């Protein structure tokens, strides 16, 4: 069958429902994925098990059913874990020692979107360079396994095991007032199962009713407008911290007691220095958009800092290759070796709360030393000809150091920038940092003129 090329992103499948992703495409993709697994593992489908979960979007139940039906038709046994967050899904794949997993979700995207996250064993993600291209081809060619018997389906409740795993060594001994913005996403189901286990926490919930039409704001914590209500509530009730989740809970953002948003790279540095106190000389990864303070912090605490390209599939693969303890992205994805090199945003939240409790300091005090440089934030531009943009930037800044790990990074002693194409949108993204605000503003505007003059 024809599978829209636009469905397949760099590291997942995501598009509008029902025009591009629907019951027919999901069924075909599930069968193609099953064929991919049996081919990769070189074993019969009857000996394989796949975990299937979904978020609470209106379209998720029927797409879930078609994913499970497609897998079963190919002879694979299906473990149905129901409506869950993405971190719970990852945990379940490992917990049940499954050969793979299918998560029906479009994360923070609007209500008319849905998608699939596909993994191998140990929740290893399947991206374009690790199987998605083959799965698309199998689906288009209807190259499916034809076993004699359909796979079995069984329901499993993973919630209790996940909660116990996530909280097992966290100690919060100081009273803290916490505001949580679930964004009407899956955090509305997850957080009420976790935070009541800590008696010292006084929690104020925002938007915990699960509603993937996102009636209050987009469930994307890295956009300022989406944490406006959280910031107001934190200062209104004199809370110690604000926490914001995205729709499927694989990202989490933080707000200080002053109502100031903490960037994801600063949280990476903060967690890195705490983990390195317990695990000296460990390797920690950070994406190339991150502030220079991240590398400096990791090295100051005795760790090995490794820069990575952007995107969860790439980072998870490199974490395994480097045997990394932890990794963080500017986009507020945080990954842990102990979690199988995947995200656990609930764990991230608890680690920050534990740090506040143990240190006795305010979050603003903890992050202040890390705000050493001045950043532009991520700025998007629509450009038709990316190669021309890169040539002009290389020519203009030919006296700088150039790196092409992901797009183009240009480095000078007192400022740097990266431009890269988006993996999810038809834009290029600029991130720029400098030693002073004035230099940052000057160079930001200078680079943007060069980029946007190539339209």
Per-residue pLDDT averaged across 318-346, rounded? 98
How does pLDDT run across 399-443, given as a tens digit for each residue? 999 999 999 999 999 999 999 988 667 789 999 999 999 999 999
- CA-CA distance, 263 to 266, in Å (whole number)? 5
Question: What confidence score (pLDDT) does residue 424 get?
Answer: 64
Question: What confidence score (pLDDT) does residue 46 get?
Answer: 77
Q: What is the pTM of this model?
A: 0.95
Question: How far, rounded to the nearest angstrom, does the alpha carbon of residue 396 sit from its chain's CA centroid?
Answer: 34
- Gyration radius of the chain's alpha carbons: 22
* CATH number of the 177-260 domain: 3.40.120.10
In the block, residue with structure tokens 């929740």: 123
How does pLDDT run across 65-109, given as a tens digit for each residue? 999 999 999 999 999 999 999 999 999 999 999 999 999 999 989
Question: What confidence score (pLDDT) does residue 11 get?
Answer: 82
CATH 3.30.310.50 domain residues, the chain:
374-452
Question: What confidence score (pLDDT) does residue 455 get?
Answer: 60
DSSP per-residue letters across 111-130: TTEEEEEEE-GGG-B--GGG
CATH T-level topology, domain 5-158: Alpha-D-Glucose-1,6-Bisphosphate; Chain A, domain 3 (3.40.120)
Instruction: Note whether 221 and 252 are within 8 A (CB).
Output: yes
* CATH number of the 264-370 domain: 3.40.120.10
Q: Please identify every residue annotated as catalytic.
A: 107
Report percent pLDDT > 90 for the chain. Answer: 89
CATH 3.40.120.10 domain residues, the chain:
5-158, 177-260, 264-370
Q: How confident is residue 385, by pLDDT bands cut at 50, 70 and 90?
A: confident
Question: What confidence score (pLDDT) does residue 154 get?
Answer: 98
How does pLDDT run across 222-253, given as a tens digit for each residue? 999 999 999 999 999 999 999 999 999 999 99
Most confident of 130-144, 308-322, 353-367: 353-367
Task: Select 374-452's CATH number: 3.40.50.300, 3.30.310.50, 3.40.50.740, 3.60.15.10.
Answer: 3.30.310.50
Question: What confidence score (pLDDT) does residue 44 get?
Answer: 78
Question: What confidence score (pLDDT) does residue 384 get?
Answer: 83
């Amino acid at each position: 069958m024809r599978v829209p090329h636009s469905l397949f992103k760099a590291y997942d499948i995501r598009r509008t429902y029902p025009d591009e992703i629907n019951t027919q495409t999901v069924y075909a993709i599930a069968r193609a994925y099953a064929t991919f697994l049996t081919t990769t593992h070189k074993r019969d489908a009857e000996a394989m098990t796949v975990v299937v979960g979904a978020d609470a979007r209106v379209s998720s139940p029927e797409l879930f059913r078609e994913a499970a039906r497609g897998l079963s038709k190919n002879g694979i046994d299906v473990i149905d874990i129901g409506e869950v967050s993405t971190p719970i899904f990852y945990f379940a794949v490992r917990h049940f020692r499954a050969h793979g997993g299918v998560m029906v979700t479009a994360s923070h995207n609007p209500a008319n979107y849905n998608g699939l996250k596909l993994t191998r064993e140990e929740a290893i993600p399947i991206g374009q360079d690790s199987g998605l291209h083959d799965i698309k081809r199998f689906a288009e060619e209807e190259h499916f396994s034809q076993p004699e018997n359909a796979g079995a389906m069984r329901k499993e409740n993973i919630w209790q095991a996940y909660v116990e795993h996530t909280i097992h060594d966290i100690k919060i001994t100081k009273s803290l007032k916490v505001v949580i913005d679930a964004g009407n996403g899956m955090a509305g189901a997850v957080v009420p199962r976790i935070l009541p286990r800590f008696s010292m926490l006084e929690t104020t919930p925002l938007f915990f009713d699960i509603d993937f039409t996102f009636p209050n704001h987009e469930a994307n914590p890295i956009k300022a407008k989406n944490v406006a209500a959280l910031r107001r509530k934190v200062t209104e009730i004199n809370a110690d911290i604000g926490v914001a989740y995205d729709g499927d809970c694989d990202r989490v953002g933080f707000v200080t007691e002053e109502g100031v948003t903490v960037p994801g790279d600063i949280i990476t540095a903060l967690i890195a220095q705490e983990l390195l106190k317990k695990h000296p000389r460990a390797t920690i990864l950070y994406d190339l958009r991150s502030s220079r303070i991240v590398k400096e912090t990791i090295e100051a605490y005795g760790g090995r800092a490794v820069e990575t390209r952007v995107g969860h599939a790439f980072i998870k693969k490199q974490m395994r290759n480097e045997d990394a303890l932890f990794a963080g992205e500017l986009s507020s994805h945080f990954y842990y070796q102990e979690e199988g090199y995947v995200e656990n945003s609930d764990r991230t939240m608890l680690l920050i709360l534990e740090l506040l409790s143990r240190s006795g300091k305010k979050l603003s005090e903890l992050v202040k030393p890390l705000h050493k440089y001045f950043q532009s934030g991520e700025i998007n531009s629509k450009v038709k000809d990316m190669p021309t943009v890169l040539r002009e930037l290389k020519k203009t800044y030919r006296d700088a150091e150039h790196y092409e790990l992901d797009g183009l990074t240009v480095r000078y002693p007192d400022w740097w920038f990266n431009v890269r194409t988006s993996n999810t949108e038809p834009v290029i993204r600029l991130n720029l940092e400098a030693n002073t605000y004035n230099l940052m503003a000057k160079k930001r505007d200078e680079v943007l003129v060069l980029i946007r003059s190539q339209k």
